């Protein structure tokens, strides 16, 4: 049955405006996660990096992010730190902007590592604020996630426009989205309704009800890691792979990366709508199962049809993206910062740890051979998700739909339509 009652935050103009601003700010942050992969072909062409060296840049952006992101999640579970949003946005942009300055490989690694730390600091607090404003609506969280997907999609276009024109030395121009994103974050924090803003004092952890289901969260996290390796691995090498498989050169590679990221925007919107109708768990399970076939098409099918399979892969990997976030937060209702950090940020960054292995294998064999193992990972994710059940939400009655209200939500379901920006 469609929910008919709304919470105060989701139905007020300020609540919808806050989600809109947070979504736009999220786009300005995640453009830098996409930018690192988009820079890889330029590092290969201008600096003659090997596959392994190029993948090391992706690793540098991901490794520190993967290590420190749970720490930031634990911190925001204890204290609300809204100031992290604009500060981390600026840090993420500054690192990428400096990546092309100078020719030192070590300095390039350091620059993208700084960017990774900024992105790691952003996601747990951003997920907490978005949950607070939306009162746990997974449709509203879908709109918030959509902003990040749009940022990913814009990254190859932005990088190509700047670097193809001015070379790697023009990379400081890439700081512009960070400046806009920091301003959007400040505006979003100011737009929150009074009872959703926690100022900077202790986070309202004690007000949550329910228990943390670590076993289910661990299975979900394992599936997310599989998804992340596939997505980041393809993101790092799809430009080079498509340009050679289609014979279209750099333009064909940029187009493939754009399709990979743009499909995520479509998948995220579809995920929220499908979950409302069929339930989160079935939608997530089917998405992983269908991704197996889509990734196989990317690796095995030559020529222009490659783009169709890239689009299907992107949609399959992103339909469950926002559902990962709400499921994770509902499995850990007392640690929503940690859950948000793992499902929203770590889900993207941890895949970078595997890219040097893909790069080394590509150097030793071929890029196609190196990408072939990615076909099996969505299947592993499906196996982990196969036994998951919807979280038991106090006051929401559980059910297949998962309930829009989270464990931290006051009694009464939130209306999806009212939560849309």
At 146-186, the pLDDT tens digits run 888 788 778 888 998 999 888 888 999 999 999 999 999 99
Task: Check: CB of residue 285 under 8 Å from CB of residue 390.
Answer: no
- The CA distances from residue 387 to 207, 216, 321, 390, 404, in Å, are 30, 9, 19, 10, 22
Alpha-carbon gap, residue 346 to 339, rounded angstroms: 10
| Helix, strand, coil fractions of the chain, as percent rounded to 5 | 80, 0, 20
At 61-97, the pLDDT tens digits run 777 777 787 788 888 888 878 899 999 999 999 999 9
Task: Check: CB of residue 132 under 8 Å from CB of residue 10.
Answer: no
Query: What secondary structure letter does DSSP report for 343?
Result: I
Amino acid 74: pLDDT:
81
Amino acid 220: pLDDT:
95
Alpha-carbon gap, residue 278 to 358, rounded angstroms: 36
Alpha-carbon gap, residue 57 to 105, rounded angstroms: 9
Amino acid 290: pLDDT:
93
And the tokens for 370?
A: 């190196």
The tens place of each residue's pLDDT in the chain, 421 residues long, gives 333 333 444 445 556 788 889 999 999 998 998 888 888 888 888 888 887 888 788 888 777 777 787 788 888 888 878 899 999 999 999 999 998 887 788 898 999 989 989 988 898 888 888 878 876 566 677 788 888 878 877 888 899 899 988 888 899 999 999 999 999 999 988 876 544 444 444 444 444 457 899 999 999 999 999 998 998 889 888 888 888 887 777 788 888 888 887 777 778 778 878 888 899 999 999 999 999 999 999 999 888 888 999 999 998 998 998 889 889 988 988 888 788 778 876 666 677 778 788 888 988 999 899 999 999 999 999 999 999 999 876 554 444 344 443 333 333 333 343 333 4
Amino acid 349: pLDDT:
66
User: In sequence order, what are the residues at sequence separation of 6 or more whose Cβ sits closer than 8 angstroms to the Cβ of residue 371?
Assistant: 233, 234, 237, 241, 298, 299, 358, 362
Task: Check: CB of residue 360 under 8 Å from CB of residue 52.
Answer: yes
Alpha-carbon gap, residue 119 to 108, rounded angstroms: 17
Axis-axis angle for helices 138-166, 321-331 (nearest 10): 130
In 3D space, the residue among 31, 36, 367, 383 whose CA is nearest the CA of residue 226 turns out to be: 383
User: How many Cα neighbours within 13 Å face the side chain of 79?
Assistant: 8
Query: What secondary structure letter does DSSP report for 270?
Result: H
Query: What secondary structure letter does DSSP report for 415?
Result: P
Tell me the β-bridge partners of 202.
79
Residue written as token pair 């330029």: 42
User: In sequence order, what are the residues at sequence separation of 6 or more whose Cβ sits closer than 8 angstroms to the Cβ of residue 141?
Assistant: 130, 131, 134, 272, 322, 325, 326
And the tokens for 141?
A: 């969280």
- 338 exposure class (CB count in 10 Å sphere: 0-12, 13-18, 19+): buried
Amino acid 213: pLDDT:
93
Alpha-carbon gap, residue 27 to 146, rounded angstroms: 8
Query: What secondary structure letter does DSSP report for 346?
Result: I
Q: How far apart, in Å, do the first and last CA atoms of the chain sit? A: 23
Residue written as token pair 């939500």: 409
Alpha-carbon gap, residue 325 to 346, rounded angstroms: 11
User: How many Cα neighbours within 13 Å face the side chain of 262?
Assistant: 13
* Residue 262 C-alpha from the chain's centroid: 13
Domains and CATH numbers, the chain: 12-391+399-405 (1.20.1250.20)
User: In sequence order, what are the residues at sequence separation of 6 or more whose Cβ sits closer than 8 angstroms to the Cβ of residue 79?
Assistant: 200, 201, 202, 203
Alpha-carbon gap, residue 191 to 166, rounded angstroms: 38
Task: Check: CB of residue 408 under 8 Å from CB of residue 208.
Answer: yes
| Helix or strand run (H / E) with residue 3 | none
DSSP 180-237: HHHHHHHHHHHHS-GGG--TTSB--GGG--S---HHHHHHHHHHHHHHHHHHHHHHHH
Alpha-carbon gap, residue 369 to 300, rounded angstroms: 10
């Amino acid at each position: 049955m469609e929910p008919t009652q709304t919470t105060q935050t989701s139905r007020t103009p300020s609540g919808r405006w806050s989600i809109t601003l947070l979504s736009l700010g999220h786009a300005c942050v995640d453009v830098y996660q996409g930018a690192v992969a988009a820079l890889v072909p330029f590092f290969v062409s201008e600096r003659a990096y090997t596959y392994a060296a190029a993948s090391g840049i992706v690793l540098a952006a991901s490794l520190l992010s993967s290590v420190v992101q749970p720490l930031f999640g634990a911190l925001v579970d204890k204290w609300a730190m809204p100031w992290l949003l604009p500060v981390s946005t600026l840090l993420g942009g500054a690192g990428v902007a400096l990546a092309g300055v100078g020719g030192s490989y070590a300095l390039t690694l350091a620059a993208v590592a700084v960017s990774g730390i900024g992105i790691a600091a952003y996601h747990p607090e951003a997920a907490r604020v978005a949950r607070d404003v939306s009162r746990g609506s997974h449709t509203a969280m879908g709109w918030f996630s959509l902003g990040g997907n749009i940022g990913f999609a814009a990254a190859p276009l932005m990088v190509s426009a700047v670097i193809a024109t001015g070379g790697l030395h023009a990379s400081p121009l890439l700081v512009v989205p960070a400046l806009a994103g920091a301003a959007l974050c400040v505006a979003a924090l100011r737009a929150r309704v009074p009872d959703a803003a926690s100022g900077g004092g202790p986070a309202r952890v004690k007000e949550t009800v329910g228990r943390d289901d670590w076993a289910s969260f661990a299975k979900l996290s394992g599936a997310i890691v599989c998804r992340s390796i596939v997505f980041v691995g393809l993101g790092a090498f799809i430009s080079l792979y498509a340009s050679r498989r289609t014979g279209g050169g750099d333009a064909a590679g940029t187009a493939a990366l754009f399709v990979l990221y743009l499909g995520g925007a479509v998948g995220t919107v579809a995920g929220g709508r499908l979950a409302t109708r069929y339930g989160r768990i079935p939608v997530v399970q089917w998405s992983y199962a269908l991704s197996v076939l889509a990734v196989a098409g990317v690796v095995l099918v030559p020529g222009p049809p490659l783009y169709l399979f890239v689009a299907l892969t992107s949609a399959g990997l992103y339909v469950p993206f926002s559902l990962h976030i709400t499921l994770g937060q509902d499995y850990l209702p007392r640690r929503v910062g940690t859950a948000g950090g793992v499902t929203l940020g770590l889900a993207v960054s941890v895949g970078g740890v595997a890219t040097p292995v893909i790069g080394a294998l590509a150097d030793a064999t071929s890029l196609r051979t190196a990408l072939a193992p990615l076909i099996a990972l969505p299947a592993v994710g499906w196996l982990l998700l196969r036994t998951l059940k919807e979280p038991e939400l106090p006051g929401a009655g559980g059910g297949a739909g998962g309930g829009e209200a989270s464990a931290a939500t006051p009694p009464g379901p939130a209306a999806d339509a009212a939560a849309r920006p």
